């Protein structure tokens, strides 16, 4: 990469004596000042520099699409190695460039990434010895680079040996066992910038790759544990970008974006760990950064404008906001410049309207009313609709003073059977249309009332007092309802399971939990039977509250529930979880065990509620089956005692599984 020399000044030396250039004595102190002082990350530096040299080597011989080879250190092979298939190096080049600080042949071109001239020495930031192997198609020449007793760098050449290996270069050095995972993490981070990705020679490990959330001609927005801020990719190297340094309105240092720029666009620090923010670099990056941010915003807007209706655009908006970082979303995004987009539509914004909903499957009307007082908590608990609900529903509107509204709605429903209706009573149509983005309403005033035909009612003579509903001070006439649940009265209270409770206790303890878990309560009327009305309980369609509660509790299988729970708890064990991920590699006994567990359906929230309901109604405790699966697991795993020692290490675990398979 070309050096930026724009700050150099011309100086006329006329009138002065003989000029003498400054010198640089290369000794141990100078060498370590350069290497150790330059690289803050002693592991990341050699990974980046040696890989970048291999990348440049392939560019030099027009092998842009050919990946070089890289081997990451592992427990059983603790070496870092990079092998390229570039032009290689002659004996003279090794002695003059590879072992001479600041000797670079890449400063006059922007076709390659390197320029400083110390990349081949970067392994000294981590180790005291590494090897360079040169191939020319006929011979192999090995060089050992090391620090002598005085800590000065040296290189020793070995005798060439015949080799038919393709032309190129290999750099290799040992890695400490405690640094293996740090090297693998460094490789994963450095390799993000490489295209094509190097060929990784390890069988049991591959570098992690970021997930692309959004891509453009010169950028990638990614999801990755290693990319949490903006980066500039110049060639194959990623440089962290400080957006505040380049100014403008888009200075966001927490956006996980990789910005591709041509080599030479930005100057870099000598360590290649940071950008150099000179005026030329800032001007170049500011222009590219602004254009990229505008391109992203325009792309998002195009994506939101693609749907043909507002609610589909809201669905697209919701999906994108769940995928892309929130920092990309400007306030007030609209669909085709008309209506503001949103992912949900709370009822609290409908300006006092009364709203009812009707579902096609026959559920009764659900009435939702605005609070009459200023209840600040209402905004948090008010119901809301999804875009799908509003898109598929028909909005039926009536004014506050419209007469025969129910009969008019009956007319509409008779002409539109099965319609999913949201029935709104309001005088603020404009406000409602703006709030919910609705363009088409059905006005009930346009429909004539549809009266139900009058049928003569059969009179019934009653010999006893009318029976009262349990939840209302209102009577019913016996015989006019099909199925009834009755509660025996006991003075001003009620008797259930031989105990006397007040109204609130029965609702909280029995009826509300039963409605939550048991369909037997749907569409059933609950009444109160006085002691003088017990004869009505003989009707086959009348059931006592106790019988219905016990019937619901009888649908629960406690043993099956406990086995499911035990299977779920077993998977909280790290060893179980890691072996399940490798099920195909396990012995047949363990595979059969996991197959049996996989067939078990998970416990649902409804089953948890039903288990609590069962315990409350029956007064019993759940059976103690907490070791059903764990005992079987313990017997199986006892055959393989080393699992406990190796399961926390991926490589050890994989090797052990291979040994078992043999």
**What's the pLDDT score for residue 563?**
79
Inform me whether the pLDDT recorded for 74 exceeds 80: yes
Inform me whether the pLDDT recorded for 177 exceeds 90: yes
**Pairwise CA distance, residues 564 & 554, whole Å:** 18
**What's the pLDDT score for residue 373?**
42
Domains of the chain: 28-200 (3.30.565.10), 211-305 (no CATH), 345-446 (no CATH), 467-553 (no CATH), 559-661 (no CATH)
- pLDDT band, residue 333 (cuts 50/70/90): confident
Helix, strand, coil distribution of the chain in percent, nearest 5: 40, 20, 45
- Model confidence pLDDT, tens digit, residues 388-411: 888 888 888 888 888 988 888 888
**What's the pLDDT score for residue 459?**
52
**What's the pLDDT score for residue 473?**
63
**What's the pLDDT score for residue 463?**
46
**What's the pLDDT score for residue 313?**
92
Inform me whether the pLDDT recorded for 127 exceeds 80: yes
Nearest to 384 by CA among 313, 435, 418, 443: 435
List Cβ<8 Å contacts ≥24 apart for 146-155. Answer: 150/28, 151/28, 151/31, 151/32, 152/27, 152/28, 152/31, 153/31, 153/99, 153/121, 153/124, 155/94, 155/95, 155/98, 155/99
- Model confidence pLDDT, tens digit, residues 232-259: 999 889 999 998 888 777 777 889 999 9
**What's the pLDDT score for residue 117?**
52
Pinpoint the alpha helices (H) of 331-426.
378-381, 387-392, 405-415
**What's the pLDDT score for residue 361?**
39
List Cβ<8 Å contacts ≥24 apart for 402-410. Answer: 402/444, 402/445, 404/449, 405/444, 407/449, 407/450, 407/451, 408/444, 408/445, 408/447, 408/448, 408/449, 408/450, 409/444, 409/447, 410/449, 410/450, 410/452
Dihedral (C-alpha) 112, 115, 117, 122: value to the nearest 10 degrees? -70
- Region of 351 please: left (phi>0), alpha (psi -120 to 50) or beta: left
CB–CB of 216/296 below 8 Å?
yes
- Model confidence pLDDT, tens digit, residues 517-560: 876 665 677 887 777 777 777 777 788 888 888 888 888 888 88
Inform me whether the pLDDT recorded for 449 exceeds 60: yes
Residue the block writes with tokens 């000794």? 27
**What's the pLDDT score for residue 514?**
84
CB–CB of 615/622 below 8 Å?
yes
Percent of the chain with pLDDT over 70: 80
**What's the pLDDT score for residue 11?**
47
Nearest to 94 by CA among 32, 158, 143: 143
- Model confidence pLDDT, tens digit, residues 107-117: 444 444 444 55
Q: What is the pTM of this model?
A: 0.58
**What's the pLDDT score for residue 4?**
52
- Model confidence pLDDT, tens digit, residues 578-587: 888 888 888 8
Name residues whose C-beta falls within 8 Å of residue 449's C-beta, 6 or more positions apart in sequence. Answer: 404, 407, 408, 410, 411
Q: 342 is written with which tokens?
A: 């949103």
364 against 86, higher pLDDT: 86
Name residues whose C-beta falls within 8 Å of residue 488's C-beta, 6 or more positions apart in sequence. Answer: 494, 495, 496, 528, 529, 531, 534, 544
**Which range is least confidently modeled, 162-166, 176-180, 239-243, 439-443?**
439-443
Q: 119 is written with which tokens?
A: 């990349």
**What's the pLDDT score for residue 598?**
79
User: Residue 170 gets which letter from DSSP?
Assistant: E
- Model confidence pLDDT, tens digit, residues 470-529: 776 666 665 556 678 888 888 888 888 888 888 888 888 888 888 888 766 656 778 877
**Which range is least confidently modeled, 41-45, 58-62, 489-493?**
489-493
Distance of alpha carbon 213 from the chain centroid:
11
580 against 215, higher pLDDT: 215
Return the bridge partners of 70, or none: 82, 200
- For 618-644, letters b (16+ CB in 10 Å) and e give eeeebeebeebbeeebeeebeebeebe
Inform me whether the pLDDT recorded for 331 exceeds 90: no
**Pairwise CA distance, residues 530 & 492, whole Å:** 10
**Which range is least confidently modeled, 11-20, 315-324, 343-352, 627-636?**
11-20
- pLDDT band, residue 370 (cuts 50/70/90): very low
**Which range is least confidently modeled, 120-134, 146-160, 449-463, 558-572?**
449-463
**What's the pLDDT score for residue 359?**
45
**Pairwise CA distance, residues 23 & 443, whole Å:** 92
Whole-number average pLDDT of the chain: 80
168 against 504, higher pLDDT: 168
Distance of alpha carbon 291 from the chain centroid:
28
| Average pLDDT over every residue of 45-63 | 93
**What's the pLDDT score for residue 535?**
74
Inform me whether the pLDDT recorded for 26 exceeds 50: yes
Which three-class secondary structure state does DSSP give residue 107?
A: coil
**Pairwise CA distance, residues 37 & 118, whole Å:** 13
**Pairwise CA distance, residues 256 & 37, whole Å:** 29
Percent of the chain with pLDDT over 90: 29
- The secondary structure of 536-594 as a DSSP string is GGGSTTEEEHHHHHHHHHTT--HHHHHHHHHHHHHTTSHHHHHHHHTGGGS-HHHHHHH
**Which range is least confidently modeled, 81-95, 184-198, 496-510?**
496-510
Inform me whether the pLDDT recorded for 103 exceeds 60: no
């Amino acid at each position: 990469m070309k050096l930026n020399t724009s700050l150099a000044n011309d100086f006329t030396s006329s009138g002065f004596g003989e000029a003498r250039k400054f010198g640089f004595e290369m000794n141990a102190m100078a060498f370590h000042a350069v290497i150790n002082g330059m690289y803050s990350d002693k592991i990341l530096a050699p990974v980046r520099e040696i890989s970048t040299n291999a990348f440049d080597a392939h560019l030099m011989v027009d092998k842009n699409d050919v990946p070089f080879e890289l081997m990451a250190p592992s427990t059983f092979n603790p070496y870092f190695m990079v092998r390229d298939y570039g032009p290689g190096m002659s004996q003279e080049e090794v002695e003059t460039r590879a072992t001479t600080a600041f000797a670079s042949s890449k400063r006059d071109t922007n076709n390659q990434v390197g320029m400083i001239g110390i990349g081949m020495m970067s392994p000294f930031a981590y180790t005291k010895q590494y090897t360079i192997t040169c191939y020319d198609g006929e011979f192999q020449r090995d060089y050992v680079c090391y620090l002598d007793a005085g800590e000065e760098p040296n290189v020793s050449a070995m005798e060439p040996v015949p080799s038919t290996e393709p032309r190129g270069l290999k750099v290799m050095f040992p890695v400490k066992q405690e640094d293996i995972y740090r090297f693998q993490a460094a490789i994963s981070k450095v390799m993000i910038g490489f295209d094509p990705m190097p060929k990784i020679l390890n069988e049991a490990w591959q570098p992690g790759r970021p997930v692309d959330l959004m891509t453009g001609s010169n950028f990638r927005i990614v999801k990755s544990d290693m990319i949490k801020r903006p980066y500039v990719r110049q060639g194959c190297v990623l440089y962290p970008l400080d957006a505040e340094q380049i100014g403008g309105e888009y200075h966001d240092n927490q956006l996980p974006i990789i910005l591709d720029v041509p080599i030479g666009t930005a100057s870099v620090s000598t360590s290649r760990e940071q950008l150099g923010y000179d005026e030329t670099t800032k001007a170049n990056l500011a222009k590219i950064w602004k254009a990229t941010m505008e391109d992203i915003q325009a792309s998002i807007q195009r994506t939101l404008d693609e749907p043909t209706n507002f609610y589909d655009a809201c669905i697209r908006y919701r999906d994108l906001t769940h995928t892309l970082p929130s920092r990309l979303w400007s306030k007030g995004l609209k669909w085709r410049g008309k209506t503001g987009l949103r992912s949900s539509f709370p009822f609290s914004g409908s300006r006092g309207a009364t709203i009812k909903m009707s579902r096609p499957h026959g559920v009764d009307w659900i009435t939702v009313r605005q609070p009459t007082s200023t209840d600040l908590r209402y905004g948090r608990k008010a119901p809301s609709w999804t875009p799908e609900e509003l898109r598929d529903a028909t909005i039926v509107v009536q004014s506050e003073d419209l007469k025969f509204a129910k009969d008019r709605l009956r007319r509409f429903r008779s002409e539109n059977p099965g319609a999913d209706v949201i029935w709104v009573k309001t005088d603020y149509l404009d406000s409602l249309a703006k709030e919910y983005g609705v363009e088409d309403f059905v006005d009930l005033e346009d429909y004539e009332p549809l009266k139900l035909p009058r049928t003569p009612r059969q009179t019934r003579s009653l010999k006893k007092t009318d029976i009262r509903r349990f939840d209302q001070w209102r009577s019913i006439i016996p015989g006019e309802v099909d199925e009834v649940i009755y509660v025996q009265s006991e003075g001003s209270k009620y008797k259930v399971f031989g105990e006397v409770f007040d109204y609130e206790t029965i609702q909280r303890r029995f009826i509300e939990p039963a409605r939550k878990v048991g369909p037997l309560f749907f569409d059933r009327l609950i009444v109160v039977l006085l002691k003088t009305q017990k004869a009505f309980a003989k009707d086959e369609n009348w059931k006592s509250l106790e019988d219905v509660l016990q019937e619901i509790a009888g649908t629960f299988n406690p043993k099956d529930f406990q086995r499911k729970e035990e299977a779920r708890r077993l998977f909280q064990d790290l060893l179980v979880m890691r072996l399940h991920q490798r099920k195909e590699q396990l012995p047949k006994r363990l595979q059969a065990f996991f197959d049996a567990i996989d067939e078990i359906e998970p416990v649902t929230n409804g089953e948890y509620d039903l288990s609590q309901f069962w315990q409350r109604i029956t007064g019993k405790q759940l059976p103690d089956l907490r070791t059903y699966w764990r005992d079987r697991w313990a017997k199986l795993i006892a055959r393989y005692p080393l699992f406990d020692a190796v399961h926390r290490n991926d490589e050890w675990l994989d090797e052990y599984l291979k040994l078992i398979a043999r």
